[in-house]
A and B are shown apart, each in its own frame.
Chain A
């Protein structure tokens, strides 16, 4: 499903070179739930951004569902972000003047979907995340957990193959976080979506099929289901 080969990304800050991704190689199977852990500044977000087509590599390649992202032009890259992947951010990134429904609908507007159809789809997505009675609420009228659920609805409304979540519970209390984790697993199971979650949250890491630990832009540990206990000490 996802194949990353020798991915390199370097940022230059004055004289200093920061290797955000340093020769990263790994494959992801369809429907896998992967937790990406590691200390702050280790390159986790950079990894998600490059997989999501928001950022490009300096070297190496990322192939998602047969598409080599490096060769996609703006138009195709936009379609890729629209149809193949869905983003979930720590700070939700909802548009504050839009209702929950409008926020979820926006990606479908970019996809050129007719109004009636997209309203139905957006409403259905909000129902799935348990916000059927909050469709006309604006983000400021929703709790943090509810806002994040809106952003999950936004990420999945166009039935993507991959969900990329960057610390989705980072801004939430543990109870709301729990609900988000449940939702993500639900998505994985019901829709066979591939999920990559950057997290500091043990609960997420422990429920994942696989844990990738990153340090200074390198994958230093790749643990699949069953060996989770070994990882526990690395989460911070």
Chain B
């Protein structure tokens, strides 16, 4: 018997009990839809976040901390593991190590072979941003010094990237263009923006004043800083971020905190710094050396792995619902085909009498099962992808409007997983009925009523 003929016969057998077949197919559609949805949406998110992650990142980066353990690591490490033995000097409960960097530490780290430069990142709190020529004031979520090497993968929609030496210049997020009322990013290049910084003395600054009553009485101090816009970044999730040079960001930080201690030996918040490597290949080696000096660090690869792990877990968690649904529907397929074997007993007898082998009979039923899986899988793929597409369209019209590059209906070969899996599951469910049909005694089958 030719394979194409087997498929044709199996296909026509499938639609003898239309309603039953449709219900059986539908049962596997549920699982296939879920899995397809997961594989359309999650890789889309992952690609998007990876791109976001990379837009201000570089394989040449190691984030380093003054403490021996990465902040939060001790807490993460304690999950699931049993109590540890107490050593003299340990604190009983989970503690946070507030070790801070000193200038000497920075000096030591810069001397490590493979380190090109150690960057410190002043992040002033900005009250608002305003165009010199306009009245509109906009909130700034994030004002930060962005070293040149972290701009490697950053795409601009207008202007040019900010150089480390560009004091008095700034780069800002694309979202500002529209918010300030411009239609074109180019229009903003060369314009002047004022960033207002309000002094919010931190505890050390306040303590140095040492007169409690003066705290409440202290008048509000503000200062405006002027910048020339040199670049507009593409839309990122940091939708209201501005990027400054080191010297400007540091000066603003010092004013904002009302303290000249920022990024000096007296700074109690100086716990993180960014190491720029000569070459990305040496990240692991350099990290190890830095840790031998008593600090901790996280390479670009490690932070990317964390992101990937999160998506891996999400994917498995969600798709296992789909797999479970499929496993349940395999029972339906089994039932449908066992019923079909009963109904077609006499027919199976005739087929054997006119020359069908056991293998042929088994193949016909197995193919029927596989076709149920295939149709269910394809419909599921269509539905899952359709739902993803719908989410994508609705999402981009509403909450996700700022993120053009976020594609929730991501097309990849992973989408073939759901139809593939449902064919496999259905085929497995078809094995028992197929064997049963092939083993029917033709004489008894021919006289079956």
Chain A residues within 8 Å of B, Cβ to Cβ: 49, 52, 54-55, 74-75, 78-79, 81-83, 86-87, 89, 93, 95, 97, 106-107, 109-112, 114-115, 154, 158
B346 contacts across to A, CB distance below 8 A: 93
Identify the closest chain B residue to A114 (Cβ).
B2
For A74, the chain B residues whose CB sits under 8 A away are: 357-359
User: Which residue of chain A has the shortest Cβ distance to B8 in the bound complex?
Assistant: A109
Cβ contacts under 8 Å, B16 to chain A: 97
Q: A residues within 8 A CB of B446?
A: 54, 89, 93
Residue B350 lies at the interface, judged by CB distance under 8 Å to chain A: yes
Instruction: Give the CA-CA distance A52 to B9 in the complex, in Å.
Output: 25
Contacts of A81 in B (CB 8 A): 352-355
Closest Cβ of chain A to B21, distance in Å, is 14
Partner of B353, one of A52, A97, A109, A112: A52
- In the complex, the answer to whether A112 meets B1 with C-beta atoms within 8 Å is yes
Main secondary structure of the interface of B (DSSP, over half): helix
The residues of B that contact A82 with a CB separation of less than 8 Å are 354-355
Task: Tell me which of B347, B349, B355, B358 contacts A107 (CB under 8 A).
Answer: B355
Q: How far is the CA of A94 from the CA of B374 in the complex (A)?
A: 30
In the complex, the answer to whether B2 meets A78 with C-beta atoms within 8 Å is no
Kindly list chain B residues whose C-beta atoms are within 8 Å of the C-beta of A93: 346, 349-350, 353, 446
Evaluate contact between A87 and B353: CB separation under 8 angstroms: yes
Does the CB pair A54–B442 fall under 8 Å?
yes
Report B-chain residues with C-beta under 8 Å of the C-beta of A110.
1, 351, 354-357, 360
Contacts A109-B1, A112-B2 given; indicate if A55 touches B443 (C-beta within 8 A): yes
Residues of A near B351 (CB, < 8 A) are 106, 110
Q: Nearest CB to that of B441 among chain A residues?
A: A55
- The verdict on A109 contacting B443 (CB below 8 Å), with A82-B354, A87-B353 known, is no
* Minimal beta-carbon separation of A92 from chain B (angstroms): 10
> Which of B2, B354, B442, B443 is the one whose CB lies under 8 Å from A106?
B354
Q: A93 to B442: give the CA distance in the assembly, Å.
A: 12
CB distance from B113 to the nearest CB of A (A): 73
Task: Flag B1-27 by CB within 8 Å of A: 1 or 0 each.
Answer: 110010001000000100000000000
Q: Which residue of A lies closest to B360 (CB)?
A: A110
Closest to B16 in A: A97
Which residues of chain A are within 8 angstroms of B352 by Cβ–Cβ distance? 54, 78, 81
Smallest CB separation, B8 vs chain A (Å): 9
B contacts, CB < 8 Å to A: 1-2, 5, 9, 16, 346-347, 349-360, 441-443, 446
- Nearest residue, chain A, Cβ from B355: A82
**Complex-state Cα separation, A78 to B352, whole angstroms:** 7
CA distance A81 to B358 in the complex (A): 13
CB–CB A54/B354 < 8 A: no
Expressed in whole angstroms, the Cα–Cα distance for A193 and B358 within the complex equals 28
The residue of chain B having its C-beta at the shortest distance from the C-beta of A118 within the complex is: B5
User: A158 CB to closest chain B CB, in angstroms?
Assistant: 8
What are 24 A-B pairs at a CB distance below 8 A?
A54-B352, A54-B353, A55-B443, A74-B358, A75-B357, A78-B355, A78-B356, A81-B353, A81-B354, A86-B354, A93-B346, A93-B349, A93-B350, A95-B350, A106-B351, A109-B1, A109-B2, A109-B5, A109-B9, A110-B354, A111-B1, A112-B2, A115-B5, A154-B354
Which of the residues B347, B349, B355, B442 comes within 8 Å of A83, measured between beta carbons?
B355
- In whole angstroms, how far apart are the Cα atoms of A93 and B1 in the complex? 21
User: A89–B359 Cα gap in the complex (Å)?
Assistant: 24
CA distance A87 to B447 in the complex (A): 14
**Is A107 in contact with B354, judged by CB distance below 8 angstroms?**
yes
Cβ–Cβ contact A49 & B355, under 8 A? no
Q: Which residue of B lies closest to A79 (CB)?
A: B355
Closest 4 interchain pairs by CB? Answer: A82-B355, A78-B357, A107-B354, A110-B355
- Cα A52 to Cα B443 with chains together (Å): 10
Residues in chain B near residue A78, CB distance under 8 A: 352, 355-358, 360
Closest to A80 in B: B355
Cα-based distance from A158 to B353 in the complex (angstroms): 13
Q: How far is the CA of A128 from the CA of B214 in the complex (A)?
A: 118
CB-CB under 8 A for A111 and B355, given A55-B443, A89-B446, A97-B16: yes
Shortest C-beta distance, A177 to chain B (Å), equals 21
- A114 and B4 alpha carbons, distance in the complex (Å): 11
A198–chain B nearest beta-carbon distance, Å: 14
CB distance from B437 to the nearest CB of A (A): 14
Taken together as a complex, chains A and B put the C-alpha atoms of A2 and B323 apart, in Å, by 57
B43 to chain A, nearest CB (A): 44
Residues of B close to A114: CB separation below 8 A: 2
The CA-CA distance from A79 to B357 in the complex, in Å, is 8
A residues in contact with B349, CB < 8 Å? 93
Chain B: which residue is nearest A84 at the CB level? Answer: B355
A97 to B347, CA, bound (A): 11
The smallest C-beta distance from B180 to any residue of chain A, in angstroms, reads 72
A83 to B357, CA, bound (A): 13
- In the complex, chain B residues whose CB is within 8 Å of the CB of A97: 16
Closest B residue to A158 by beta carbon equals B355
Q: Within the assembled complex, what's the spacing in Å between the Cα atoms of A95 and B343?
A: 12
Q: A83-B355, A95-B350 are in contact. Are A49 and B443 (CB under 8 A)?
A: yes
Question: In the assembled complex, which residues on chain A have CB atoms less than 8 Å from the CB atom of B360?
Answer: 78, 110
Query: Most chain-A CB neighbours within 10 Å: which of B352, B359, B441?
Result: B352
Q: A87-B353, A89-B446, A107-B354 are in contact. List 8 more A-B contacts (CB 8 A).
A: A54-B443, A82-B355, A87-B354, A93-B349, A93-B353, A107-B355, A112-B1, A154-B354
